[in-house]
Amino acid sequence: MIIVETMVAHNIVGQLGSIAVMGRWPERPPDGMLRGVDFYFESALARALTLSAQMFKNRHGYLPNLASPETFSEHIFWRKFFAPLPMPSLADKLAAYDYVKELVGDDFLPSVVWAGDNVSELLASKPGAGRFVLKANNGCHFNMFLRLPGDLFVKRGEIEKQATRWLESRFGYAWGEWQYCTFKPRLFLEGFLDFDQGDTPDDLKFYCFGGKAGLIEIGVDRFTQLGTAFYDLSWKRFPVGYKYEPIHYGRPDNLDEMIRVAETIASGMEFARVDLYSDGKRNIKFGEITFTPGDALSRFTRACLGSDGGTGGPSRIADLEFDKWLGSLFGKVRSAGLAGEDGAPPGHNCHMRQATMAPLANTMLARK
């Protein structure tokens, strides 16, 4: 259980007050858009804000600056509560499939052989023989690898337990990733993508700002020994990773096509991370659209020689400069005219709303 420090609650209340005084407390966005501050009731918003801020502080060692976010992590924290997201939510993986189909066609979608909200229907289904992945549309890491038809019997108990848990989950609600709670949870069975490689396909994540890719993250062996790396569009590798040293990954032959697909999917959005699977040759399949990657808790690191307690080997420390550089890409989007005045996203420049701010502050401080 995460304990929220009194200092954290006071800090967030103070920052929200400053935003209101500066006249930047946002009004509701137009129809078809929704933000965290609109989704939550005041007491739930207070809990989500303070818990999320505490998690941020525990991970990064500092509290996010809401009025003037600088690092990418701060921008993602801000977006969790203040950025308008399209509704119906593209966080719904099945809805995202329909959205992508309209933009780039069926060829880029994995095959969904069954979808529903009843575990019994799944167990009674006859999808055919082969390798499949059971997923839920309403969260992260909701997947189970199956070999059918045998696993429908061998793993019946596990399937029932996991699928029921997924369907009952309100993933993200407690810490501000509310977008996963705006639609009905459903299960779906998807054909396994192996691209004749025999293992999970490589995952390429395109960080798109204003509909243009600005960074590519590589993920390999996601369910065994995850390896990651970051590259720019000219395929220069950043010496940055997460917990471990970044891997080296050859430039995919179909990189230009993947960039085209990702940018087409992200068109019209201030920010989205578009995840694609590929064999690096000709096969490309859509994975998901993510609006708050890592829940603002991804900690970028770089190697630091000789700082591992005297052994002389490499350890890793936070790379704040990379985090700031990636955050600066939001500013470039806004300076290009894709956002409103004062660096705020479209629809966010408005007058102070003390009637909204005061009860929220009281609720947050009353909890301490």
What residues does each domain of the chain span?
Answer: 6-88+297-366, 111-191, 202-290
**Which helix (H) or strand (E) element contains residue 205?**
strand 202-209
Report how far residue 148's alpha carbon sits from residue 161's, in angstroms, rounded to the nearest whole number.
Answer: 18
Give how far the C-alpha of residue 318 lies from the chain's centroid of Cα atoms, to the nearest Å.
20
User: What one-letter code names the amino acid at 292?
Assistant: T
Q: Which two tokens stand for residue 176?
A: 């501000």
Residue 91: partners with Cβ closer than 8 Å, 6 or more residues away: 85, 138, 179, 180, 182, 183, 289, 291
Q: How high is the mean pLDDT in each 10-residue block of the chain (368 residues)?
A: 95 92 82 93 95 98 95 97 92 97 97 94 90 95 94 95 96 97 96 80 96 96 82 96 92 98 96 96 96 97 66 74 96 60 34 44 55
pLDDT confidence of residue 364: 57
Tokens 């009025």: give the residue: 67
Grouping H, G, I as helix, E, B as strand and the rest as coil, residue 204 is strand
pLDDT confidence of residue 294: 96
Residue 240: partners with Cβ closer than 8 Å, 6 or more residues away: 230, 246, 300, 301, 302, 319, 322
Grouping H, G, I as helix, E, B as strand and the rest as coil, residue 318 is strand
**Class for the domain spanning 202-290:** alpha beta
Global pTM reads: 0.89
